[in-house]
Amino acid sequence: MADIASDKSGSAKLIFSLPVMVAALGYMVDMYDLFLFSIVRVPSLKAIGVTGDNLLSDGIFLLNLQMTGLLIGGIFWGIIGDKKGRLSVLFGSILIYSLANIGNGFVTTLNQYAGLRFIAGFGLAGELGAGITLVAEILPKAIRGYGTTLVATMGVLGAILAYIVSYLFEWQLSYFIGGGLGLMLLILRISVFESGMFEKLKGKNIKRGNLAMLFGNKVRLIKYLNSILIGLPIWFVVGILITFSPEFGKALGLAEPVDAGKAVMLAFAGQVAGDLLSGFLSQYLKSRKKVILSFIMLSFCLILVYLLAPIKSVNTFYIICICLGVFNGYWTLFVTVAAELFGTNLRATVATTVPNFVRGAVIPLTSLFILGKGQLGIINSALAVGVLAVAISLISLRFLEETFSKDLDYTEHD
């Protein structure tokens, strides 16, 4: 019994060690900034003179620029993570997005806003992948799922924090607070140590962060694409259903207007529970794929309820947002699988680009949504895009390997 207690105590110390907590807090600040825009979209755009239907179209424009920054930054930071180390990304990315976050509070024109959302997206791109890679490599495989669950859960709490701060303060100050938190965390990262797997790899003559190895090999490329596509339903829900919840509430004929900030906060409160649930279920069942499949199917059911149920009460609508958030909680496993699928010399590249590419999938998803909106209406257009996203994710999951028990101390070769 004493040995069991000692093992549990040792595991807890590893899970809550400084590198894990710093990665978790970094992702919290990352998500704070990423979703603060969704929360303050309307008041901030109105403050710089945007009105009427342009609140939706200009909002999508800024969101897509932010996601473009994430796509480009994902590639840049991923390569840096494998060539220079996980810590190089954790320092560089947080500095860029913290300064951009502060800059967002000073914007007076749409073009200024657009440029800073792109820069913020570029900086944000490195945070999650580098953090998850570091955590996955420093923790034993038996407990690494708990570590990545902690990181992902803390990140979701950042979205909730963004709502609370935006409720208490004006949108400009909300941006300043996010930037300040990031700069404070930057100082804390000075004490974090590098991944032992990466340190061991540096002394070997092995290609690191080489995109040709990823895109030039058919098997790796298919595995990489599938690891991205399983996350499509998450960002369909976040990028369309939740971000534009006021427009959906109006189309559904709700008696009261939907508060976008409240919808975001409730959805991510639900995702906190979902991240914990999916992470612990995965450890209990010793499977990533089984839990991801269950969550995708349950998420699809809630998408149908959101779009098709005869909802008239705004409170009922908010409850559905919470439930959508819960089943978006396989985000924990999604990013964990990305880190587990590839060798140490490509792991940061994959773990950094995969979540950012699926975030960037908001661009084609919203484009399809807007394209169909004119012909089908807002509800049917969203339904068509949602069905497509879920179908693609299920096909991709079918062909992915199970990674729960995989040893990560290996490299990819030409």
3-state SS of the chain is CHHHHHHHHHHHHHHCCHHHHHHHHHHHHHHHHHHHHHHHHHHHHHHCCCCCCHHHHHHHHHHHHHHHHHHHHHHHHHHHHHHCCHHHHHHHHHHHHHHHHHHHCCCCCHHHHHHHHHHHHHHHCCHHHHHHHHHHHHCCCCCHHHHHHHHHHHHHHHHHHHHHHHHHCCHHHHHHHHHHHHHHHHHHHHHCCCCHHHHHHHCCCCCCCCHHHHHCCHHHHHHHHHHHHCCHHHHHHHHHHHCCHHHHHHHCCCCCCCCHHHHHHHHHHHHHHHHHHHHHHHHHHCCCHHHHHHHHHHHHHHHHHHHHCCCCCHHHHHHHHHHHHHHCCCHHHHHHHHHHCCCHHHHHHHHHHHHHHHHHCHHHHHHHHHHHHHHHCHHHHHHHHHHHHHHHHHHHHHCCCCCCCCCCCCCCCC
Tokens of 159: 């979205």
Q: Cα separation of 277 and 108, whole Å?
A: 42
pLDDT in tens, 303-349: 999 999 888 889 999 999 999 999 988 988 888 898 888 888 888 88
- The pLDDT tens digits for 203-216 are 777 777 778 888 88
What pLDDT is recorded for position 2? 42
What is residue 344's predicted lDDT score, i.e. its pLDDT? 80
Q: What is the reported pLDDT for 4?
A: 42
**pLDDT per residue as tens digits for the range 31-54:** 888 778 878 888 899 999 888 878
Tell me whether residue 262 is exposed, middle or buried, using C-beta atoms within 10 angstroms of its C-beta: 0 to 12, 13 to 18, 19 or more. Answer: middle
The encoded tokens of residue 325 equal 């958030």
9: pLDDT strictly greater than 70: no
pLDDT for 281 beyond 80 = yes
* pLDDT at residue 89, rounded to an integer: 85
Tokens found for residue 163: 């709502």
Whole-prediction pTM value?
Answer: 0.80
Domains of the chain and any CATH numbers:
16-188+208-398 (1.20.1250.20)
Summarize pLDDT for 215-252 with one digit per residue, the tens: 888 888 999 999 999 999 998 998 889 988 888 988 88
Per residue in 159-192, pLDDT (tens digit) is 778 888 988 999 999 999 999 988 888 887 777 7
pLDDT at 176: 94
The pLDDT score that the predictor gives to residue 29 is: 86
| 110-116: average pLDDT | 92
Written as one letter, the residue type at 83 is K
Q: What are 346-402's pLDDT values in tens digits?
A: 888 888 888 888 877 888 898 899 888 888 889 999 999 999 999 999 999 999 989
Per-residue pLDDT at 346: 85
pLDDT band at 10 (very low <50, low <70, confident <90, very high): low
pLDDT tier for residue 1 given thresholds of 50, 70 and 90: very low
CA distance linking residue 341 with residue 123, whole number of Å:
24
State the pLDDT confidence band at 276, using cuts at 50, 70 and 90.
confident
Cα–Cα distance, 360 to 369 (Å, whole number): 15
pLDDT single digits (tens) 115-149 = 999 999 899 888 878 888 888 888 887 788 788 88
- Residue pair 357/322 in contact by the 8 Å Cβ criterion: no
Report pLDDT for 3. 42
pLDDT in tens, 87-101: 888 888 888 989 999
CA distance linking residue 378 with residue 369, whole number of Å = 8
Q: Please report, rounded to a whole number, the percentage of residues in the chain having pLDDT higher than 90.
A: 28
Task: State CA 15 to chain mean position distance.
Answer: 21
Q: Which residue has the higher pLDDT, 317 or 14?
A: 317
Q: What pLDDT is recorded for position 139?
A: 84
